[in-house]
Amino acid sequence: MEKSAAAVVVDTKTEIRQRDIPRPVGTEVLVKIEAAGHTVVDTRYIMRVPEDIAAEDAAPILCAGTTAYRALRLADLKPGQWVGIVGCGGGLGHLAVQYAKALELRVLGIDSTDKESICRTLGTDVFIDFTQTKASLMSMYKHHNVIRVTDGGTHGVLVVSSSPKAYEQALRYVRKMGALVCIGIRPEYFVAKGVRLLGSSTGTMNDTKEALDFVRDGRVKPITVKKKLGDIQECLTAIEAGEIVGRYIISAT
């Protein structure tokens, strides 16, 4: 869930004369946030978003998009290789699919049946519905014959789901010496398959700039659902239930 309101650096002297607000010092600047007042921000930790990217498109990239893009870079995969994305229809997952396709990777997507259509639309090459198996995870793995489809297993897996079981599942289709990128949860240490375990949460400012470039040239388009501030509890309930496709945007207008 992201905040889409714009923030602009303003003239300090004029604003401070007009309002009782903090005075910036050192490397700080005064920033005016749409419908939210003023704040002081250190210039070392802010960046300019290109004006030709809409605020509702940029907002998801500053967190979810940067996280997904950074994770793919961390996996160090080459064009034509396979990447598995667990939770490919969610807020991070739908962006990870698009970044993966922009990087010329082949995508094995794992999510629930209601997410299949959008995941395939975004470019998922092979989709696994983890809710439709009546047997064990290993039976599902054999049923979909991931090893055959990916010619030995995926070269890397991004786990964007917060469920610990997702990591157990991921190990069943990553190939030997492949990379398992753990996002947002501390992984256990697995060595049986020689899998490279990589932890990631978000990225650097440079990662964000590069991630925005994909949006700017049209290779990535965030799926957003615009809501108002009073709808936050409804949004959180839907997120917990796994009902949202894409990313919620909280708009001030």
Closest CA to 119 of 97, 141, 140, 101: 97
At residue 144, the pLDDT reads 55
Distance CA 174, CA 156 (A): 6
The answer to whether 133 and 139 have CB atoms below 8 angstroms apart is yes
At residue 189, the pLDDT reads 45
- SS3 labels along the chain: CEECCCEEECCHHHHHHHCCCCCCCCCEEEEEECCCEEEEEEHHHCCCCCCCCCHHHHHHHHHHHHHHHHHHHHHCCCCCCEEEEECCCCCCHHHHHHHHHHCCCEEEEEECHHHHHHHHHHCCCEEEECCCCCCCHHHHHHHHCHHHHCCCCEEEEEECCCCHHHHHHHCCCEEEEEEEEEECCCCCCCCCCCCEEEEECCCCHHHHHHHHHHHHCCCCCCCEEEECHHHHHHHHHHHHCCCCCCEEEECCC
What residue type is 60 in one-letter code?
A: P
Per-residue pLDDT of the chain (253 residues; tens, 9 = 90+): 454 445 555 555 555 455 566 677 777 777 766 666 777 777 887 888 888 999 889 999 998 999 999 999 989 999 999 999 988 988 899 999 999 999 999 999 988 888 899 999 999 999 988 776 555 555 555 545 777 888 888 999 998 876 767 777 777 788 888 888 888 655 544 444 555 667 676 788 889 999 999 999 999 999 988 898 889 899 999 888 878 888 888 887 6
What's 55-200's CATH class?
A: alpha beta
- Cβ-count burial of 44 within 10 angstroms (0-12 exposed, 13-18 middle, 19+ buried)? exposed
At residue 167, the pLDDT reads 73
- Domain range list for the chain: 1-46, 55-200
At residue 55, the pLDDT reads 87
- Dihedral (CA of 241, 242, 244, 248) sign: positive
Which tokens hold the place of 118?
A: 């959008």
The pTM of this model reads 0.76
At residue 143, the pLDDT reads 45
At residue 141, the pLDDT reads 54
Closest CA to 31 of 63, 57, 5: 5
DSSP 8-state symbol, 49: P
At residue 79, the pLDDT reads 97
